[in-house]
Every structure is written in C-alpha cells, then in structure tokens.
Structure 1
Amino acid sequence: MKVILHKDVPNLGDAGEIKDVADGYARNFLLPRKLVSIANAGSTKAIEHQQKLITLRLEKRNKEMQTLSDEISKISSVDITVRVGAKRKLFGSVTNQNISHALKEKGFSIDKRKIDTDPIRALGSYKIRVKLTDKIIVPLTVNVLGDENDLQAIAEDEARDAKYAEKAKASTEEAPKTEEGEKANSES
C-alpha cells in the first residue's frame, strides 16, 4: 500500500515522502495514529499541495535545528554529578535521559531518543552525539563527576586503608625478626 507520510516515522521515512508499506502496518499502526494518508490517483493534487507544505515545514525545521545546533556547539560540554560508591564506581549509570535532563537545565529541550550514547558507568569525560535530524549531528562532551560528599568519604576510607596497610606491613616485618632471634637463642 502506498502512503504519504505526514510526520517523520522512525525506520520508515520523513514527512512528505511517499512510501510503500505493508497493508497491516498501514491499517493497524500508521493510519490510526494519523501518521500517513493513503496515496491514490484521485489525490495527486492534494499530495502535491501537501508535499509543498511539508517541504516548507521541513525547511523551517532545518533552520531551527541548525540554530539549535549552533547554540549547543557553544556550550561544548555538560557536567553531570552522580553518586559514587567504593572504588569510584557509579551507583547505576548515566543514560540518555540524564543527559537530556542536564541539557534541559542549560535551556535546551532535547528528546532523549536523539542522544546517541551507551550507558556510562564510570567517572570521566565522554564524547557523545546529539542527532537533531538525519543530517544535523552535534558532538558534545559529557563530564561525569562524583558527588563531593561521596568522593570525600572515599578519600577518607582510602587514607584509613593505607594507614592500616602500613601498620600491617610494619608488624609483619617485625615478626620474622623476633622469630629469627628466638631461633638464634635456642641454638646456642
């Protein structure tokens, strides 16, 4: 069945395109959601008019996305603070939704599905891509930072562990000396 796309449909096409899809997909999914209309010979003039309107909408959208792309490029990085456990391992992970929320705090409303990254599970700096349209992709750096209180607690734990390790090392070094001294005394 040939259909005209009214909106962008993932894995199918962009608004204004004429696509050939399975009948069931069109009847059960696309038509009830008003994402498409059926393309037939009687509606050619309507199709041409719709395509002109859609082309104008796409041009306007591309200009808006290009402006948004330029604005996002200016910030270059986003900082996300997360809770951290032992060995500086994150509780959970940083996902597309966390990055979308951080961008929203900076004034950019970006859908989480437009952010291309795998879940981040460690502290550090990561390069991600924000796919505004098929042709407009913005690189962005995400800095994953640990919560100050958690990092301070980890530093205290590491200092305490180092102190205990030194005491344990000192006590193991003294123990063989006393045994050697006892052996020497028993031999004489």
Structure 2
Amino acid sequence: MKIILTHDVPNLGTPGEIVEVKDGYGRNYLLPQGLAIGWTKGAEKQVVAIKRARQAREVRDLGHANEIKAKLEGLKVTLTARAGTGGRLFGSITPTEVAEAVKLAGGPALDKRRLELPGHIKTLGGYQVAIKLHPDVTAKFNLNVVGSK
C-alpha cells in the first residue's frame, strides 16, 4: 500500500514522504490515527509543494534549534510529584508534565510528542530527558523529580 505521511513516524519517515507499507499497517494504524493519507497523483503534487516549503523552513530552523538546545542544556528543571514511602510515585511522570515543568523553569514551550523520556519515571530522583528539536539537533537536559510535602 502506498501512502503519504502527514506526521513524523519513527522508523518509517517524515511528513511529506511517500512510503510503501503493508496493507494492514496502513489501513489499521496509519490512516485511522491521521499519521498518513492515501496516495494519489493529486496528493503527490501537493507533497512536492509541501516539501519545498519545509526545506526552506528547515534551513532557517537549524540555527533556532541550536539556540533552543543551548537554553535547554543550561536549564535546571524540577518537577514536584506526590510520592509514597521509599520514593515511589503515585502514578508516573508524563511527557506533558515534563513540558509544563520546562516552561515553568523559564524554558521554551516544547512539543510533548518529541520528548524522549528514559522509560517510565516512577521514582524520585534525577533523570536525563532528550528532545529531538530538528533532524540534526537533539538536546538533553536534566530533570529532577522531587516529592511534595
């Protein structure tokens, strides 16, 4: 099945790419989730225009991504969560909570979907979180999870 990606799909491609996938994967996951659209000649012409616009934007975004990376790496992010005895959290830390904590710490607004948490954060302590700002730029910052009093 030939499809056009509308979102970044790990291990498959970036928006605007035309890829060949198995019928079930495309029909049951990519299309219903809105991650892709079916391929047609008309849609392929639109993709060419989208790619040209994205390439012009990426060159401008590379410098901006490096600026954001420098800001994030110098930032001290602290997140307060409810914890029980032994430092175990009630629930776990989500990417949405991390993005809000970065914003509260004076950092830029981040896309929660681009955050890469080091597994499930279920205990108090320090963690290193990565975010893919650009295909060539990945920033890492320290997250400190503390218990609420």
In the alignment, structure 1 residue 88 sits paired with structure 2 residue 82: no
* Structure 1 length-normalised TM: 0.58
What is the TM-score when the length of structure 2 is the normalising length?
0.70
Equivalent residues, number: 145
Contact 1:115 1:129 in 2 (8 A): yes
Counterpart contact for 1:69–1:138, Cα < 8 Å: yes
Quote the residue 1:64 is aligned against. 64
Residue identity matched to 2:132: K
Unaligned 5+ runs, structure 2: none
Indicate if the aligned counterparts of 1:3 and 1:18 stay in contact, CA closer than 8 A: yes
1:99 matched residue in structure 2: 98
Considering fraction of residues, name the structure with more strand. Answer: 2
Q: Deviations over 1:90-113 (max 9, x none)?
A: 222223222111012234221222
Gaps of 5+ in 1: 150-188
Partner Cα separation in structure 1 for residue 102 and residue 84 of structure 2 = 25
* CA-to-aligned-CA distance 1:18-75 (integer Å, 9 cap, x gap): 323456837x9659x59557454x8987765543223113323333333222221221
The root-mean-square deviation of aligned C-alpha atoms, in Å, is 3.4
CA shift in 2, pair 1:88/1:22, >3 Å: closer
Equivalent position of 1:124 in the other structure: 125
Q: Percent identity of the aligned residues?
A: 28
Q: 3-state SS of the aligned residue for 1:8?
A: coil
The structure richer in helix per residue is: 1
